[in-house]
Amino acid sequence: MSATSTIIDSKADLLPLLDSIVNVATDPPSLYFGLEGFDLGRHGSVSILSLHIAPTKGTYLIDVHALGGGAFSTTNSSGVSLKTILESTTIPKVVFDIRNDSHALFRLFQVSVESIKDLQVMELATRTGSRELVSSLAMCIERHSPISAAAKTEWHLTKERYNKLVDPERGGRPQALNERPPKPELIQYCRQNVMLLPALYNVYNTKLRQPGEAFWRITVRDTTKDRIKLSQSPGYDGYSKRSAHGWNDHTIETEMESWNEYLMMEDRAGTHVLNENDEWVPAPSYDFEDFLNEEDQYYDDDNNDWGNDTARDCIGWEEDMIKNGESF
């Protein structure tokens, strides 16, 4: 993990980056990001937005402390800004735990993120054990990342040096986040945090794309949207103990029962199917005109009655057929 990163601390440097993002691949996602700052939220500040572009393996540290709102409002000749990218519904962005990042972006810069893939939620869905509590990024890297043991050790050392820089309990100062030029410990930590995300995404996404996992994929999508909505609410507290809660068994069982019932109804009706994006869409061979045609088959407009009824559709049909000497 000795790759370098580019610090973006001027609008002139930001424009070429925006140009390069316009046509990024979306499947799999190309963009992985994360925020570092002091007390992320409406009462805190954002220091750096780290952005990793997977296809090019380029990592960019956007100096939000230096650029201020310009980091998000600066627009290139195509009308693209960091704000429009983060708010785009067609460009997926991968992050680990969107909640505090979304809260800070929304409250401080009026950016409302869309099309987010939350790795913390994806990990929760792919577990085989208890889902009561969410995992930290450190736990996910240690348990699930395919990187080498040496790379994991390097990451832990980087994290330790970062904590010593900013954590008062370890002799650090939070103000170090906004000292310029950025400290090497901060640069390395921000860079590695996003560089490690693509491998984790591949691990969790591979599991979620297996046959029969649609329930979990939709649960991940809906939970991520709920997280974003919650993070934008006035009373959101990103440092509450409740933030560590995942899903309890009762909730999962209830949601699964509802899901299975819905699948059974759709299977009987045959009117809708799940598309490749796990969205319910009309079945290719069934539309509203089909429904009307089916109605016409059975309904007799002239007699104001159902046209294809038979003796067996009437109450007491067995007794009538016996009286008439007819066979069943």
Element (H, E) at 6: strand 6-8
Per-residue confidence band for 276, with pLDDT thresholds at 50, 70 and 90: confident
Spatial strand order in the sheet of 45-53? 6-8, 58-63, 45-53, 31-38, 93-95, 116-118
Per-residue confidence band for 2, with pLDDT thresholds at 50, 70 and 90: low
Closest C-alpha to 61, from 71, 75, 51: 51
pLDDT of residue 214: 93
* Percentage of the chain exceeding pLDDT 90: 73
* Euclidean distance between CA atoms 275 and 120, whole angstroms: 25
Element (H, E) at 46: strand 45-53
Per-residue confidence band for 140, with pLDDT thresholds at 50, 70 and 90: very high
pLDDT of residue 303: 52
Q: What is the largest CA-CA distance in the chain?
A: 100
Q: How far is CA 82 from CA 31, 37, 312, in A?
A: 12, 18, 67
Closest C-alpha to 166, from 302, 66, 277, 38: 38
φ, ψ of residue 125 to 5 degrees: the values are: -75, -25
Length of the chain: 328
Q: How far apart are the first and last CA of the chain?
A: 78
How many Cβ atoms are within 10 Å of 266's Cβ, its own excluded? 15
By 3-state DSSP, what share of the chain in percent is helix, strand and coil, each rounded to 5?
50, 15, 35
pLDDT in tens, 202-242: 999 999 999 999 999 999 999 999 999 999 999 999 888 89
| 15-30 mean pLDDT | 94
Inter-helix orientation angle 149-166/137-144, to 10°: 170
Q: What is the mean pLDDT of the chain?
A: 88
pLDDT of residue 294: 52
* Percentage of the chain exceeding pLDDT 70: 85
Helices (H), 233-313: 249-269, 288-298
For residue 49, what are the β-bridge partners? 35, 62
Cis peptide before 29 (omega within 30 of 0): no
Q: What is the bridge-based pairing of β-strands 93-95 and 116-118?
A: parallel
Q: Is the pLDDT of residue 315 over 80?
A: no
Q: Is the pLDDT of residue 185 over 50?
A: yes
Q: Is the pLDDT of residue 298 over 60?
A: no
pLDDT of residue 292: 55
